[in-house]
Amino acid sequence: MRHRRRVRSFERAVGSSTEMFVLPGAIRLLQLPCSDTNIGAIKTLFSVQYMSKSEYLRLADAIAAEIADGALKPGERLPPQRDFAYERKIAVSTASRVYAELLRRGLVVGEVGRGTFISGDAKRGVAAPSEPRGIRIDFEFNYPILLDQSALIAKSLEGLEKTAALDAALRQATSFGTPAARSVAAAYLSQDAWSPSPDQLVFTGNGRQSIAAALAAVVATGGRCGVEPLTYPFIKGIAARLGVSLVPLAMDENGVRPDSVQKAHREAHLSAIYIQPVVQNPLGVTMSPARRADLLRVVEKLNLPIIEDNVYGFLDNEPPLAALAPDSCIVIDSLSKKAAPGLALGFIVPPQRLRESVMASVRSGGWTASGFAFAAAQRMMSDGTVAELTRLKRLDARARQKLAADRLAGFEIQANDKSYHLWLTLPAHWRSQTFVAAAARRDIALTPSTTFAVAPGHAPNAVRLALAAPTMDQLDSGLRTIAAMLNASEHDFDSTE
Ligand SMILES: Cc1ncc(COP(=O)(O)O)c(C=O)c1O
């Protein structure tokens, strides 16, 4: 441990002041003439012996990029560490750190006596999204469940168990629902600035199915869809299955940048864009009015449909972009977060011209909601239960966000104070994946930045914290643990376990 510290401080010294102090000293010590060749040789010697921490990570990143773009293929064997060190002109100890880092990221697997191989999972495109694993403090899945919400829901569902009600609820449902379900849902989704017509509505089992159906309806296999560079992870798996390439667009504090849409479309035709203009997941950004207008101008000029994910829109008063451009937007919404994930119904509000193809896509994907979900949702929307849950969840999100801001004060967080999630940039001594692994050892589930990143190898050193699921006590204790971890280094933290 003391030795590691000494080496680290030496690395730091070599990294920062090689030119000023170490080189002249070494030249004198070795009694060499001060020629360019000798200086070069000593520099190489130092860089071989004492590569800095960021340099070995850069090398690991470079190999990760080679895996991502297919230059290194699953099953391929990496050279023995000694040969790798020789090829890359680095110390063998640095080569083992590079290999250990690749191992930690799950990009390679080591087999005793056989060597190190590119992992079979590494180039599968997208890791399968995970499912709740029973970890004690869940900062990973963002489904808010209020303490007494089941009592509210039970009241709303009273009578649904009666034979006559069940007779209707248990019939097969359709993608367009009943006229009653359409008008209840249209009234529920309506806001001051936006009121979809009941005739526009299409239903699915949940928000993910709505996204899949909309994407399948407007982007053909082999087509391209522009997306925020850090986005809702599920879109990656859906796009991969549909054979759609996701193209990361540039984004700033006002949302997606219109010039990046133009640029991506110029490079190769885009068929649509998928974005979240209100309370974006994972960054919490809500698009500014000026940005909305600029983006819509570009998108309308290019004749691009927008798949507008409004699943988190219930936390803000901002209307969807569809309020300004009903003919360009396919709005996606669902009840999973507003009500409960176990009682989901998904909505799609396409422009009239796309409704038939969206419905065909729901049918062919097998994404039609169950009749029981329709019946339950219809009750909860029409008697005001969902509206009441939404009101309470807005207050709950603010309270949780405030606690998080207090507990994580002084760290680099990006959040919308109305949202249920926050983006935490890690201090340089932590890596996103290692931080997530260390938190898991503390029984805390978090999501690493790579899960949200669309371009492989371009994830910031950050994690997303979903604040919705834990109880307030768990939230408090989980945040305290995370703050303690951030203050310690990976090594110190583990040595105190
Ligand atoms: C932005 C976004 N869209 C869609 C969904 C999926 O919604 P559902 O749970 O209804 O499938 C989620 C769920 O986390 C989400 O974060």
Residue-wise DSSP of 417-428: TTSSEEEEEPPT
From first to last of its 497 residues, the chain has per-residue pLDDT tens of: 333 433 333 233 333 333 333 444 444 545 555 555 555 554 444 444 445 556 787 888 888 888 877 788 766 788 999 999 999 989 888 888 888 778 766 677 665 456 777 765 544 555 666 787 777 899 999 999 999 999 999 999 999 999 999 999 999 999 999 999 999 999 999 998 999 999 999 999 999 999 999 999 999 999 999 999 999 999 999 999 999 999 999 999 999 999 999 999 999 999 999 999 999 999 999 999 999 999 999 999 999 999 999 999 999 999 999 999 999 999 999 999 999 999 999 999 999 999 999 999 999 999 999 999 999 999 999 999 999 999 999 999 999 999 999 999 999 999 999 999 999 999 999 989 899 999 999 999 999 999 999 987 778 999 999 999 999 999 999 999 999 999 987 666 654 44
Quote the tokens at residue 404: 């998080």
Domain 2-118 of CATH type 1.10.10.10:
yes
E strand map for 76-201 = 77-78, 108-111, 115-118, 137-138
Would you state the pLDDT for residue 37?
A: 55
- Phi, psi (rounded to 5 degrees) for 28: -65, -45
Quote the tokens at residue 91: 């110390």
Quote the tokens at residue 306: 């927008």
What residue's CA is closest to ligand 1, atom 7? Answer: 207
Ligand 1 mutation target, pool 334, 367, 422, 452, most atoms within 8 A of CB? 334
E strand map for 92-176 = 108-111, 115-118, 137-138
- The class level of CATH for 137-142+388-495 reads alpha beta
Alpha-carbon gap, residue 330 to 98, rounded angstroms? 45
Which atom of ligand 1 lies nearest, measured to the CA of 341? 9
Order across the sheet with 224-227: list the strands. Answer: 202-204, 346-349, 329-334, 306-309, 272-275, 224-227, 245-248
Q: Give the other-Cβ count within 10 Å of 69's Cβ.
A: 11
Query: If you measure from the C-alpha of residue 209 to the centroid of ligand 1, how many angstroms do you get, rounded to a whole number?
Result: 9
Radius of gyration of the chain (CA): 26
DSSP 140: S
Map residue 39 onto helix, strand or coil: helix
Alpha-carbon gap, residue 166 to 203, rounded angstroms? 20
Within the chain, which residue ranges are assigned CATH 3.90.1150.10?
137-142+388-495
Within the chain, which residue ranges are assigned CATH 3.40.640.10?
163-383
Ligand 1 mutation target, pool 227, 228, 232, most atoms within 8 A of CB? 232
Asked if residues 246 and 235 have their Cβ atoms less than 8 Å apart, the reply is yes
Measured CA angle at 495 (ends 493, 497), to 5 deg: 75
Find the residues whose C-beta lies inside 6 A of ligand 1: 142, 206-208, 232, 276, 281, 309, 311-312, 334, 336, 341, 344, 346
Map residue 51 onto helix, strand or coil: coil
Cis peptide before 144 (omega within 30 of 0): no
Would you state the pLDDT for residue 132?
A: 79
Would you state the pLDDT for residue 450?
A: 92
Query: If you measure from the C-alpha of residue 274 to the centroid of ligand 1, how many angstroms do you get, rounded to a whole number?
Result: 13
Q: CATH assignment of 163-383? A: 3.40.640.10
Measured CA angle at 233 (ends 405, 98), to 5 deg: 85
Map residue 248 onto helix, strand or coil: strand
CA 81 vs CA 62, 88, 113: distances in Å: 16, 10, 13
Query: If you measure from the C-alpha of residue 419 to the centroid of ligand 1, how many angstroms do you get, rounded to a whole number?
Result: 14
Query: If you measure from the C-alpha of residue 348 to the centroid of ligand 1, how many angstroms do you get, rounded to a whole number?
Result: 13
Would you state the pLDDT for residue 19?
A: 39
Residue 110 CA to chain centroid, in angstroms? 28
DSSP calls for 204-225:
ESSHHHHHHHHHHHHS-TT-EE
Quote the tokens at residue 377: 């949702």
